[in-house]
RNA sequence: CGGGCUGUAGCGAAGCCUGGUAUCGCGCUACACUGGGGGUGUAGAGAUCGUGGGUUCAAAUCCCGCCAGCCCGACCA
């Protein structure tokens, strides 16, 4: 017998975390690099996961009163120039369309022809184009609020890309709302970060910290940026979603004005909020192990895979009949408000290979059924989160399948929360701070550090230290953060604590 | 955009220093043996060695340019 590697994924997380991440994606067949620089091909398994995320989020958006719409991919360059901070933030990473036609170049190739009067920007985000449209839609306070979301792709010409975490083109949703008052817009901003936190924790099984960004970390043009931050297994932070209170910055730039009850003309208050395919990267780095991807059941394209085991055609008939009946019964069971999603894998490949195929793809539950099990009217059940499988009577299996999925979902959440808790420390001095983030090798991708909760007085003065240690302020947590203290670096009085961490 | 590493069959690699026209593992195809486990054997298919140029009788190998990927840095809503 040939020896199988100790883990299905090489290298392990401990050995080389960034490479492990790539290999999990490959092993699970989620996506691959494309011929286009920085852009990925999302494969069916990865895309069906994204569809499940979309569906859950979309339902939550609808439940909070939003509607979907669609706006153009191209933005006239002049639109982007209107809000100064916004230009500053995005100009560097915009893809620009300057021509509208190709013609033969005389050497068998093609060259751009037909220069555009005004270059078009491929949207890096749609505040400007949507704002320009809203300006036409809003005249009266009776037109407000506008609560719209769009599912779209955006392009940011990032210098360094990583699959799912930072790609040049990515899929996302962006909500853009307009309100008559500051209070109402701020409420919306809070409501949507709440939706994201709910989704992250209850669907992705990923604990997140809700907080606000410091001025230097804010969205360009925003008055306030709320974010959810999660800890990955290498103890780095990942920003998983943001909700921005844009104040009147964009409405002034784009003239979104309305007449209020008193007949006065006012600028409206806007918000925007988004999550992207980066959530898949977050999912991978939160739950996956050295055997590959691990899917939280609520988002898994398949909950249960049935693996029939037989030697010959005669056995096959019997086993398949049994397995199909089992599939039908399991499919009638409910988990988290939906029917249990079951598939039979009867491909003609070796059993071991088949098993690892599903392990690497993260299917929550594998059920193996062979002639011996059928005699006992039972099946072998293996949960992706446990190393052992156990024999279980069919009737028990059917009645507990929902509970098993529930257990996997909560185990994943608890495991992730435990990792975050045990790698979060409160730090009160610069010496401790330096020690916490010190690297032991040249390789800054090694696993170390975590979240440091620190009182701080002034963001600007910390920059040299943060730059030196490659640490950023992730957010000022919203909850349990009312006790004043002294700044860990300057000793000056400080109102709030922030999370400091290395980040993606 | 700077530094480092890399690009050879679908995938992973050896060969490159010391030029002579391509090797191994996995996978794939067929057959046989196996059968609660990514097994064994036999036979096969599959590569203009990332790309363009140069040096040479001869280039995967040496030289130059370009492209792409990964890691680090800068940048990052």
Radius of gyration for the alpha carbons in chain A, expressed in angstroms and rounded: 26
- pLDDT at residue A444 in the model: 47
CA distance A410 to A403: 10
Distance, Å, A53 CA → B69 C1': 29
Q: Which nucleotide is nearest to A277 (CA to C1')?
A: B77
* pLDDT < 50 positions in chain A: 1-4, 442-444
DSSP one-letter code for A390 = E
What does the alpha-carbon distance between residue A43 and residue A301 come to, in Å, rounded to a whole number? 13
pLDDT of residue A4: 44
| Minimum-distance nucleotide, CA of A468 to C1' | B73
Å separating the CA of residue A238 from the C1' of nucleotide B37: 38
Residue closest to sugar C1' of B69 by CA = A33
Nucleotide minimizing C1' to CA distance for residue A220: B77
CA A388 to chain centre: 30
With distances taken from each CA to the C1' atom of nucleotide B39, the closest residue turns out to be A1
Span CA (A360) to C1' (B70), Å: 22
Q: Are A460 and A489 in contact (CB under 8 A)?
A: no
CA of A111 to C1' of B19 (A): 40
User: Measured between alpha carbons, how far is A420 from A439 in angstroms, rounded to an integer?
Assistant: 19
Beta carbons within 8 Å of A27's beta carbon, 6+ residues apart: A8, A9, A292, A293, A360, A361
Q: Alpha helix (H) ranges present in A29-99?
A: 44-63, 77-80, 84-90
| Protein CA at A94 to nucleotide C1' at B50, angstroms | 28
* A54 CA – B10 C1', rounded, Å: 32
Which residues are registered as beta bridge partners of A451? A424
**Strand ranges inside A384-488, DSSP E:** 389-393, 424-426, 451-455, 472-477, 485-486
3-state secondary structure of A26: helix
> Which two tokens mark A243?
């909700």
Q: How far is the CA of A397 from the C1' of B15 (A)?
A: 55
Question: Nearest nt (C1') to A162 (CA)?
Answer: B70
Whose C1' is closest to the CA of A348: which nucleotide? B35
* Rounded distance in angstroms from the CA atom of residue A408 to the C1' atom of nucleotide B41: 42
* Cβ–Cβ < 8 Å for A244, A275: no
List protein-proximal bases of chain B (any atom < 7 A from a CB).
1, 26, 28, 35-40, 67-77
Nucleotide nearest to A37 (CA to C1'): B68
* Residue A102 confidence (pLDDT): 80
Q: Which of A362, A414, A367 is nearest to A384 (CA)?
A: A362
> Which nucleotide is closest to the Cα of A165 by its C1'?
B76
Per-residue pLDDT at A446: 59
CA-to-CA separations, A117 to A76, A103, A114, A130, A432, in angstroms, rounded: 10, 18, 9, 22, 57
Separation of CA A159 and C1' B74 in angstroms?
A: 9
The string of pLDDT tens digits covering residues A287-304 is 999 899 999 999 999 999
């Amino acid at each position: 017998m040939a020896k199988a590697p100790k883990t299905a994924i090489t290298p392990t997380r401990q050995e080389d975390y960034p490479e492990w991440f790539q290999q999990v994606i490959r092993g699970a067949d989620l996506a691959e690099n494309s011929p286009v620089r920085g852009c990925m091909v999302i494969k069916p398994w990865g895309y069906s996961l994204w569809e499940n995320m979309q569906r859950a989020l979309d339902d939550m958006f609808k439940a909070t009163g939003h509607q979907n719409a669609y706006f153009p991919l191209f933005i006239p360059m002049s639109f982007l120039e209107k809000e100064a901070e916004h230009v500053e933030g995005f100009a560097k990473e915009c893809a620009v369309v300057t021509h509208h036609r190709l013609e033969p170049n005389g050497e068998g190739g093609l060259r751009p022809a037909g220069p555009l009067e005004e270059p078009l920007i491929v949207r890096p985000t749609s505040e400007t184009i949507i704002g320009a449209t809203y300006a036409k839609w809003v005249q009266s306070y009776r037109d407000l609020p506008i609560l719209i979301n769009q599912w779209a792709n955006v392009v940011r010409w990032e210098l360094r890309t990583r699959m799912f975490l930072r790609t040049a083109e990515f899929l996302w949703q962006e909500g853009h709302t307009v309100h008559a008052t500051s209070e109402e817009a701020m409420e919306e901003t809070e409501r949507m970060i709440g939706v994201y936190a709910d989704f992250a924790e209850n669907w992705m099984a990923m604990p997140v910290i809700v907080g606000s960004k410091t001025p230097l970390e804010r969205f360009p043009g925003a008055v306030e940026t709320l974010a959810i931050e999660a800890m990955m297994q290498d103890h780095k932070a990942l920003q998983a979603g943001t909700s921005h209170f844009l104040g009147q910055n964009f409405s002034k730039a784009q003239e979104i004005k309305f007449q209020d009850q008193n007949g006065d003309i006012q600028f409206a208050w806007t918000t925007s909020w988004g999550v992207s395919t980066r959530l898949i990267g977050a999912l991978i780095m939160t739950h996956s192990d050295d055997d590959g991807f691990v899917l939280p059941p609520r988002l898994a394209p398949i909950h249960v895979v049935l693996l029939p085991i037989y030697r010959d055609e005669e056995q096959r008939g019997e086993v398949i009949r049994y397995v199909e009946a089992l599939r039908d019964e399991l499919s009638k069971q409910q988990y988290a408000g939906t029917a249990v999603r079951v598939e039979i894998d009867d491909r003609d490949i070796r059993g071991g290979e088949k098993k690892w195929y599903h392990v690497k793809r993260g299917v929550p539950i594998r059920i193996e059924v062979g002639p011996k099990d059928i005699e006992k009217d039972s099946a072998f059940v293996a949960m992706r989160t446990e190393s052992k499988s156990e024999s279980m009577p069919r009737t028990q299996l059917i009645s507990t399948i929902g509970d098993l999925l529930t257990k996997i979902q909560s185990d994943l959440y608890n495991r992730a929360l435990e990792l975050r808790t045990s790698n979060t420390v409160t730090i009160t001095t610069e010496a401790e701070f330096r020690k916490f983030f010190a690297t032991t090798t040249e390789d800054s991708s090694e696993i170390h550090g975590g979240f440091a909760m620190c009182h701080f007085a002034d963001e600007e003065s910390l920059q040299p230290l943060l730059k030196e240690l490659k640490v950023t302020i992730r957010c000022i947590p919203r909850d349990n953060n009312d006790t004043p203290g002294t700044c860990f670096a300057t000793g000056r009085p400080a109102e709030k604590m922030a999370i400091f961490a290395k980040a993606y």
